[in-house]
Amino acid sequence: MPEMQALAKTVVWWGFGLGLIFGFFANKTNFCTMGAVSDAVNMGDMGRMRAWLLAIAVAILGTNLLAYTGKINLANTIYTGQSLPWLAHLVGGLIFGIGMTLASGCGNKTLVRVGGGNLKAVVVFIYMAYAANVTLRGILAVPRIDLLQSPTVTVNLPTHQTLPHLLHGSLGMDLATAQLVIALLIAAILLAYVLLNKSFWENKDNFIAGIVLGSVVVAGWYVTGKIGWAENPETLTEMAMGTNSKLAESMSFIAPSGYTLELWSLWTDTGTVVTWGIAAVFGVGVGSFLYAVATKAFRWEHFVSAQDMFRHIIGGTLMGFGGVTAMGCTIGQGVTGFSTLSIGSIITFVGIVAGAAATMKFEYWRMLREA
């Protein structure tokens, strides 16, 4: 057991370190998935959206190369099971997209803003984390499980829900070859869309964000799926040490925010420990703080009105519920989950973008009506 505890501690420290890198560069490059949708919808500017897509492409390439070479097994993740609760992914994604628009940023951006001194983000984080907790195991788990994840709206697939698993037979390829070919094809399409656009290169920060943040997701898979993957001497089953799910994980911020709040609440309970996800949450905040201090960009920001506060509280709550229901956020599903080529992750990604875009359109219509 001491060896397992030491391995879990190693994974946790890696989570903190990679989270720190993520937070530092997310702040430096102004990476924001909500901002990406907003720029595209309101201004027709696809710069930050291309940065997000670049991160996805890098994550797909790196993650599937790790799987192809046998370093990790993508079947050992929360994203790739045979059960596909499509309605939970779609509705959860839509609700998360609405929530992140009202809260002025997704889960990752909330942590980055906390590190930069934004007190509004502190309030959003608390409500987001609490809503995530009660959606995981509290009162909001009831509609999640009984309605959105019920057997009547869940498709039970004959194999894992990744594109390679579902398509390799019809393509006449073995699974490993199909995994590599499909990953290369999807990544190539995304990279062509991103890198062949001249306007994308006008802001080098978008390129840096996509490369660095996508690479952090790949590194996370390697840490939890390779370094931290070991046999539990008590159960004699293989598992990921140091993660909440006991499966391989990478960057994700909604459920881990809930676990963080739970850890603070039950600090003296020996059953609650720092995990990979919790460490990553802390790392993002600290990384953002270090960048803000180093560049003298740290600023205290607060609500301008009660209405502004109410809007952010509602947004944080919707993000907590939607993120847990969809099994991830714009990073947890939109990059990490997407990198596994999971059908559920793709549905969630579409739902988040659609929910955010629709909310922005509605807000713009309301603003014109009131003018």
Q: Residue 201: its pLDDT value, please?
A: 93
Alpha helices in the chain (DSSP H): 2-29, 33-38, 47-68, 86-102, 107-115, 119-136, 141-143, 163-171, 175-195, 204-222, 255-265, 276-294, 306-325, 343-370
Label residue 162 by pLDDT band (50, 70, 90): very high
Label residue 272 by pLDDT band (50, 70, 90): confident
Give pLDDT tens digits for 291-311.
Answer: 999 999 999 999 999 999 999
pTM confidence score? 0.96
DSSP single-letter state for residue 92? H
Residue 19 identity (one-letter amino acid):
G
- Contacting residues for 201 by C-beta, under 8 A, at least 6 apart: 207
How many independent structural domains does the chain possess?
1
Quote the domain boundaries for residue 15: 2-370
Label residue 85 by pLDDT band (50, 70, 90): very high
Percentage of residues of the chain with pLDDT beyond 90: 93
Q: Residue 1: its pLDDT value, please?
A: 66
Give pLDDT tens digits for 145-156.
Answer: 999 999 999 999
Mean pLDDT confidence for 169-192 = 96
Label residue 321 by pLDDT band (50, 70, 90): very high
Q: Residue 8: its pLDDT value, please?
A: 94
